[in-house]
Chain A
C-alpha cells in the first residue's frame, strides 16, 4: 500500500482533495520523515480515519462538480473494466461453462461502455480525463473461484459507490439535462443512477453465479467483508427514521429481510480505502 499513491488517485478524481486536507497540513508536516511516512502507510486504520476526516460531513452537501464526480465514477469503471479484461484473458476462462463465459463477457461489455460513456461526457463537459486506472496485477487471483469473489466485491462496492454520490450530483446541479457534445442530451443524475441499476444487476448475477442470495442478507460467505461495512453498513435496518424490524402491517421481519431490502452507500473515501477498492488499484 502506498499512501501517497492513494492521495494521488484521490486527487485525480477529486481535485479538491488537497484543499480538504489543507487544514490538516500539519499532519503532513509532522509526518515529513520517511520513517514516519512508512509508519503511516503501514497503518490502514489510521489512514481510514484520516480520510474519514477529510470527507467528514460532505454527504448530502455540494462536494465537487459534475465533472469531478464523473471522474470518480470513471476511475471505478476503469478498474472494473480492466478487471474483467484480466478475467477474459485469464488462462482459466476458456474452461468455464458457456453461460459463465457469456455472463462475464456481457458484464465486461457494459463496463467498457460505461468507461466510454463517462469519458465522452467528461470530454463533452470540457473536462476530459487523462488518467487510466488499472486493476493491480498482483491482486488478481489466478483461479476462477477467487476471480468471482473479487468480481462480487467489486460489483457490490460499485453499487454503493454510485449510490453514495447521488445526493452530490443533485447538489451539483446534475438533475438538469445537459447537452453534451458528442453524446447528446444527458441527465447526469439519471444516467448515473441508470448505471447504478446495471451495476446492481451485475452484482446480483455474480452473487447468483457464486450460489449466494442476489441481495445482501448478511449471511453470504463474503457479506462480513469490509466492502459491506462502513459508516452505513449493509446490515442497516433503520430507514427513513423507522426501525424496519418494527414495521408492522400485520407482519414482522427478520434482520436479514430488513437489511436485504435496502442497499447502502459508501463515501468516496470509504470506497478508495485500501480495505476496499483502494487495494485493487494497479
Chain B
C-alpha cells in the first residue's frame, strides 16, 4: 500500500476499534483489514489513532465527498430516528427524500472509490451533540448548515478533479445538492429566496459560494469527534 492510501497505522487501530465501524461498514472494514495486512511494508511512525488522512488526487477528492455524503445521510437518519414532535408530516416526507438522496450519493461514491481501486474511509458514526435536534426550527437550521456546506464543498473541489468521468459524476450530484439547499431555505424561512441564497462576493457575486476542503473540514470538525480529518494531501490546483 502506498502513501496515497489511508494511513496504515491509523487504519489498523480503527480495525481494533470495532465500535467505530458500523454493521453497514462491511466494505470499509474489509478494506481496512486488507490495509492492515500491508502494514509491515511501512515504517512505524507515531500516528494519532483518531486521525483520518485522505489520499492524494481524485481518490482523495472522492473520499472527501464520500465522507460529506456520509455526514449528510447520517444527519437525516438521526432526525428520522428521533423526529422533533413539532415536525409536520409533510416535512418528514421531504426529509426522507433527502435522506434517501444522500444515501444513494454515499453508496454511489463508495462504489466509485472501489472502481478506482481507492481505499474508502470507514463508515463513521457522527457526533451531533452540538446541534439542537429537538425542534423543527433546530432541525431545519442544522439541515441548512449541512446542505450549504455540501454545496460549497462540491463547488470548492470539482475543478480539481482530473478524470472527466469522475468530474461528470460529481457534477450530477452537485446540482442536486444545490436543489436541496434551496428547498431547506424555503422550509426554514419561507419567501426569503432573494435574501437567503448563498452566493459569492465581489465581481463573481452571481456565482455560488465555494469552500476549500480545509474550510469545510474545520466547520464540520465537531461532527467527526473524536476523529479528525486531514485533507492536506488533497490537490489544491
Chain A: residues with CB nearer than 8 A to chain B?
A: 60, 97-99, 102-103, 105-106, 109-110, 113-114, 117, 120, 159, 163, 166-167, 170-171, 175-177, 183-184, 186-187, 189-191, 193-201, 203-205, 208, 213-215, 239-242, 244, 247-251, 253, 257-258, 260-265
Contacts and interface: CB of A to CB of B under 8 A. Distances in A.
A193 B159 contact: yes
A65 B178 CA distance: 28
A103 B104 CA distance: 31
A203 B193 CA distance: 12
Interface string B1-43: 0000000000000000000000010000000000000000000
B24 A163 contact: no
B101 A215 contact: yes
A114 B165 contact: no
A176 B101 CA distance: 31
B124 interface: no
B27 to A, nearest CB: 10
Label chain A's interface by main secondary structure: helix
Contact of A260 (B24, B176, B182, B197): B176
Nearest to A106: B194
B197 A106 contact: yes
Q: Of residues B104, B155, B158, which shows the largest number of chain A Cβ atoms within 10 Å of its Cβ?
A: B104
B171 A261 contact: no
Contacts of A240: 108, 111-112, 115, 165, 169
Given A117-B204, A198-B197, A241-B115, 5 more contacts: A195-B207, A198-B199, A201-B181, A208-B182, A261-B176
Interface of B: 24, 97, 100-101, 103-108, 111-112, 115, 151, 154-155, 158-161, 164-165, 167-169, 171-176, 178-183, 186, 190-191, 193-194, 197, 199-200, 203-210, 237
Contacts of A159: 175
A234 to B, nearest CB: 10
Contacts of A198: 178, 197, 199, 206-208
Contact of A190 (B165, B178, B210): B210
Contact of A261 (B105, B154, B209, B237): B105
A215 B179 contact: yes
Contact of B107 (A175, A183, A203, A249): A249
A197 B204 contact: no
Contact of B197 (A166, A177, A186, A201): A201
B172 A204 contact: no
Contacts of A183: 203-204
A191 B207 contact: yes
Contacts of A205: 182, 186, 193
Given A103-B194, A193-B155, A262 B176 contact: yes
A201 B179 contact: yes
21 contacts: A60-B168, A103-B193, A106-B194, A109-B206, A159-B175, A167-B168, A170-B161, A189-B159, A193-B171, A197-B207, A201-B179, A204-B180, A215-B179, A244-B108, A247-B108, A247-B111, A258-B104, A260-B97, A261-B104, A261-B105, A261-B173
Given A167-B164, A194-B200, A214 B175 contact: no
Contacts of B204: 117, 183, 186, 191, 194
Given A167-B164, A261-B176, A204 B169 contact: no
A183 B171 CA distance: 25
Contacts of A248: 107
Nearest to A116: B206
Q: Of residues A102, A195, A240, A264, which shows the largest number of chain B Cβ atoms within 10 Å of its Cβ?
A: A240
B208 A261 contact: no
A282 B103 CA distance: 43
A170 B172 contact: no
Contacts of A262: 172-173, 176
A170 B182 contact: no
A239 B169 contact: yes
A197 B174 contact: yes
A123 to B, nearest CB: 13
A263 B175 contact: yes
Contacts of B179: 200-201, 203-204, 214-215, 263
Contacts of B167: 166-167, 170
B193 A253 contact: no
A265 B170 CA distance: 12
Nearest to A187: B159
Q: Of residues B100, B191, B206, which shows the largest number of chain A Cβ atoms within 10 Å of its Cβ?
A: B206
Contacts of A177: 237
A250 B159 CA distance: 33
A201 B208 contact: yes
Contact of A193 (B111, B158, B203): B158
